[in-house]
Each structure stands twice: as C-alpha cells, then as structure tokens.
Amino acid sequence: MPRKPRPEGTRAPNGASSIYFSEADGYWHGRVTVGTRDDGRPDRRHVQAKTEAEVTEKVRKLERARDDGNVRKPGKAWTVEKWLTHWVENIAAATVRPTTMVGYRASVYKHLIPGVGKHRLDRLQPEHLERLYARMQQNGLKAATAHLAHRTARVALNEAKRRKYITENPAKVAKPPRVDEEEIVPFTVDEARRILDAAAEMRNGARFIIALTLGLRRGEALGLKWSDMVVMWKHGCPAKSACRKACRAEKCEQRRGSGTLTIRRAIQQQVWKHGCSDEKPCGHRYGAHCPQRHSGGVVVTDVKSRAGRRTVGLPHPVVVALEEHRAHQQIERETARNEWEEGGWIFTNRWGRPVHPTVDFDAWKALLRAANVRDARLHDARHTAATMLLVLKVPLPAVMEIMGWSDTSVAKRYMHVPHELVTAIADQVSDMMWPDAERDENGMAPDVAAIFRRNEELRQVLQQVMAILPEELRRQLDQLDDEEEGDDPTAA
C-alpha cells in the first residue's frame, strides 16, 4: 500500500524521518536524523532504493541502530588500510609493549593491509577475513600466522567499534584457522633434580634454579638486582650451644636461611630501528645493520602486567644457591677490575652487564645436555613450577600471586596433572569405594596384629609406653582396654 500523503499545510515534527520519491533519478529516498554533528547541525543520514518498501525498511533499520547507539560517526568512512595504519602507529604503539608491537606490525603491514586494506571499514565482512586466512595458508604460511593476523584484526576493529566508526566487529564473527597447540610436558621430579644438580656446577646456574623452583619468566629473572632480595638467617645449632652466644645467625655453620624476592623489572631484547632518513636510506634491509640504528638491543622494561609486580618467598636451598652465586660474582668483579660495570644485577655477563637473552637461551640448552635431560623450552620450567604448586595443593589465589597471573584462566594452561598425581587419586578412589576387608575390628591388618600378639618383647615395650603416658590419656586407653577381651594392650 502506498504511503499516505501528508495533509496540505502540515509539516513533520523536528527530527522526524522523511521518505520521498525523486523524479530526477527515479529513486525513493529516506533521511533519518541520528544525532548532532560537531558543529551543532543535525546529523541527517541518507538512504535510497528502487521501491518505497525497500527504502522504508532501510529507514527503520537506521532508526533502530540510532536508538541502540550503533550508528557510526559522521564523515567520510575510513578504509581498512587507513584505520589499521592509524591504529598500529598511534594507538597501539603508545599502549602495548615493544615485543607485542613486532607481531602487530607484521600482521598489519604484511597480511591485513595487502589482503583487505582496500575495503571500506564499515563494509568489511567476516567472509573477507576468512578468505584472507585461507589464502595465507595456501601460500605456505602456518595456521598460527593466520591466527595472529586474526587476533590483531580483532583488537584493531574493537577499537574502531568503541569509537563508533563501525557498528559491529566482523573479526568477532569470522572463524580463524584452527591451531593445534603443542602438548607441554613439565619436567618430572627426577628430571628437575638432575637439572638442579647440573645447575649448581655451571656459571649463573642459580638463574635456572630460580626458574624451576619459583617459575619466574625469563625477563623477570634476568632483571633481578641484589637490592630486590631480602634474606633472614636463623641459627641451626642447638638452643643453648656456644655458637649462639659467640656469633650471629649468618655466621652459624648450620644456619638456615629464608627470604623474599621482589620482581620489579624485566630484561628484553628489542628489535633495532633504522635511524637513516627516507631521503638518504642506508640500503640495509634490517635496522640492526643500519649505521644510525636506535631503540634496540637489551633494554630494561616494566614487568608484563600489574600482577607481575610481586614478591615471592625463597626456600633455604635457593637462598644458599644465591649466596654461593654472590661469592662467585665477587671473584669475577675482582678479576674484571676496571672493566666491570656495576649495576647491581644478580645475573651478569663477565663484565657486570645484564645477561643477553640469546646467551641465556644457549646456557639453558647446555644445561639440559649436561643434566642428560630431554630437550625442552626454557618456558617449560615455568610450567613445571606451576605444576609443583598444584601437587602441593597450594590454593589458587596464592598460586596466582606467586606466578604473577591476573586471570584465573591462565592457570589451566600452566598447571598440568602429572602421572604421579593421577595414580594417587586413583588409589584414594579405590580406598574409599573398595575398603580393605582384610583388617580386624581394631583397623589393624591381620598379619600386623599377629606380630603384636606373638612378640612378647614388643608387648612389654607397649606396656612401658602406656605407663609413662599422661594420666588422662592412660585412663582413656584403660577404658578401651577394659572393653576388649583379655589384657592384650594391642587391642586398645
């Protein structure tokens, strides 16, 4: 049914939508007021269609989007290329870590812009992204690379939606390729002990003892300073020994140490950037080869997250290992003399500077070979530490504090159920569901009860023990004994 014409001499109220037919182009047009522009003028959006029904539906759709607050900002729409470039250089670069930016820039400039950059931002569809991921894999790239591009697009388009340049994020709808996660097997107790023994014999070995027992990230461990460690010593000798009177606890030969380690910073290896200008390029492909390179190499950064700034406890063996490491470092300091650069770092190279992450990686691989342990990532030591806390039944809030996690979902990736724990749980289920029928009424196995009854010497010892028990406990045992047949003390 055609739309009824408005009575002559009347007008639509301010802000109302309008639909009309234009004989100039033969199209039906609709205009909807969705808000106010920055200069104060009404923001009127235009739609058109061949028929009145089609344009009416478009007008109603635009009105619903206006009422839901899902109308994009006025002005010329961004292209995907323009938005991604603006996002990665002006928004992401100021808020994320440099190592994260390496992945973002690779996804934006190598894959997303060449693949979907020409689309208008508000017309990008999930299918466009899915076809891009498929082409990437057809060109020989791994599914993980396509998955990284998908995550980058999702973050960038989320920001565009938050700023109302688009109303929906197509990357949330698009299906990324499946990535088969590599199974991580934490070190067994035997493997961990062999690594600890081998680490005690190598330079900077305490660094890997910390990795296995405390689960520190690589950058966190390399960023430790002696000022971050607090140690408290206690005497290990008897209470009234001459040692306690003659010397302080830290001088006791049987001393016991405990302490804390505060994680405040991290060491990272950042990619070098070109320092040459576009007018006079150096000609090298990588920034590391540029004569005017900058902002790269080993740098000191903040910890990964707010939860990463934490304090962890030090067991006595770790305290001993760190003190032995301190003594070895003093010898190296005296040997290097003027070449030593004092920075207070716990783990250094032979000139006092922080350990390079690549050197640390090589040392880890050498340690595994020396310990005759299977090859594994250094990060697997962190998985091992988290699994150890699971076996020790440490509450999850305490685990998150020790490991520096801010999200409980991370625990599922790091805490693995070892074989020993699986078998122990099975034994507990067995004892509960199928109790041992081969026990007497006192809860004692028959063969053990028979030994007590046959061994006269053991009976006498038990009677002597009962004689020296406190009176109240002896009275309770006598009552139990009176309830049993005979005078057998093993019954009670």
pLDDT tens digit string along 281-336? 888 887 878 888 887 788 888 887 888 899 999 999 999 999 999 999 999 999 99
CB 214 within 8 A of CB 404: no
Mean pLDDT value across residues 67-79: 72
Domain contains 255? yes
What mean pLDDT is predicted for residues 349-363? 93
Q: What is the pLDDT of residues 107-126, one digit of tens each?
A: 999 999 999 999 999 899 99
Average pLDDT score over residue span 427-444: 64
**Confidence label for 481 from pLDDT (cuts 50, 70 and 90):** low
Number of domains in the chain: 4
DSSP code for 49: E
Mean pLDDT of the region 62-73: 76
Residue 269: enclosing H or E segment and its boundaries?
Answer: strand 266-270
* Same-domain pairing of 329 and 409: yes
Comparing 18 with 475, which gets the higher pLDDT?
Answer: 18
10 Å CB burial of residue 369 (0-12, 13-18, 19+) is exposed
Residue type for 366, please?
A
Does residue 447 register a pLDDT over 70? no
Residue bearing the bigger pLDDT, 375 or 281: 375
Residue 491: pLDDT over 80: no
Do 255 and 302 lie in one domain? The reply is: yes
User: What DSSP line would sit under 200-266, residue for residue?
Assistant: TTSTTTHHHHHHHHH---HHHHHT-BGGGEEEEEE--S-TT-HHHHHS-GGG-TT-EEEEEEEE--E
- The C-alpha atoms of residue 205 and residue 324 are separated, in whole angstroms, by 10
In angstroms, the CA 366 to CA 205 distance is 11
Rounded Cα gap, residues 263 and 20, in angstroms: 68
Q: Which residues of 22-41 are buried (b: 16+ CB within 10 A; e: fewer)?
A: eeeeeebbbbbbbeeeeeee
Per-residue tokens: 176: 């990324």
133-152 pLDDT, tens per residue? 999 999 999 999 999 999 99
- Please name the helix (run of DSSP H) or strand (run of DSSP E) that holds residue 360, with its range, or none: helix 357-370
> Residue 140 — left, alpha, or beta (φ > 0 → left; ψ -120 to 50 → alpha)?
left
Residue 251 falls inside a structural domain: yes
Residue 243 contacts residue 236 (beta carbons within 8 Å)? no
In a domain, 311, yes or no: yes
With a cut of 90, say whether residue 488 has pLDDT above it. Answer: no
pLDDT score of 369 = 96
Determine, yes or no, domain membership for 111.
Answer: yes
My answer on whether 208 and 309 are in the same domain is yes
Show the tokens assigned to 419. Answer: 């074989």
> What tokens were used for 188?
């067994």
- Please tell me whether residue 34 adopts helix, strand or coil conformation: strand
At 334-348, the pLDDT tens digits run 999 999 999 999 999
The verdict on 346 and 382 lying in the same domain is yes
182, β-bridge pairs: none
Q: Give the residue from 224, 226, 228 showing the smallest Cα distance to 216.
A: 224
Residue 34 placed within a domain? yes
pLDDT tier for residue 44 given thresholds of 50, 70 and 90: confident
Are 88 and 36 in a shared domain?
no
- Pair (202, 266) in one structural domain: yes
The total number of residues shown for the chain amounts to: 492
**Contacts for 88 with CB less than 8 Å, ≥ 6 apart:** 101, 104, 105, 108, 156
Q: What is the mean pLDDT of residues 228-244?
A: 88
Conformation bin of residue 63: beta by default, left when phi > 0, alpha when psi is -120 to 50: alpha
Better-scored residue on pLDDT, 248 or 469: 248
| Contacts for 11 with CB less than 8 Å, ≥ 6 apart | none
Determine the structural domain holding residue 464 and report its residue range. Answer: 436-492
Domain end among 144, 173, 202: 173
- Asked if residue 420 belongs to a domain, the reply is no
Going by C-alpha positions, the residue among 144, 142, 172 that lies closest to residue 156 is 172
Domain of 109: which CATH number?
Answer: 1.10.150.130
Using alpha carbons, select from 189, 194, 188, 220 the residue that is nearest to residue 207.
Answer: 220
The token pair that represents 295 in the structure block: 């902002």
Choice between 74 and 20, residue whose per-residue pLDDT is larger: 20
Are 194 and 307 found together in one domain?
yes
pTM for the model stands at 0.68
Q: How many CB atoms lie within 10 A of CB 325?
A: 20
| Residues 383, 257 share a domain | yes
Q: Does a structural domain hold residue 288?
A: no
Q: Is there a single domain that holds both residue 372 and residue 333?
A: yes
Mean pLDDT of all residues in 80-85: 95
Q: Tell whether 299 and 356 lie within a shared domain.
A: yes
Catalytically annotated residues:
217, 273, 379, 382, 405, 414
Query: Is the per-residue pLDDT at 371 higher than 90?
Result: yes
* Last residue within a domain, chosen from 398, 413, 428: 413
Q: Is 92 among the domain residues?
A: yes
Split at pLDDT 50, 70, 90, the class of 485 is very low
Phi and psi torsions of 66, nearest 5°: -65, -45
Percent of the chain with pLDDT over 70: 84
Largest CA distance in the chain: 122
Averaging pLDDT over each range in 6-15, 254-263, 277-286, 325-334, which range is the top one? 325-334
CATH number of the CATH domain containing 216: 1.10.443.10
The percentage of the chain sitting over the pLDDT mark of 90, rounded to a whole number, equals 45
Same domain, 22 and 109: no
Residue 32, strand partner residues: 45
CB-based burial of residue 54 (10 Å sphere; 0-12 exposed, 13-18 middle, 19+ buried)?
middle
Asked if 206 and 300 sit in the same domain, the reply is: yes
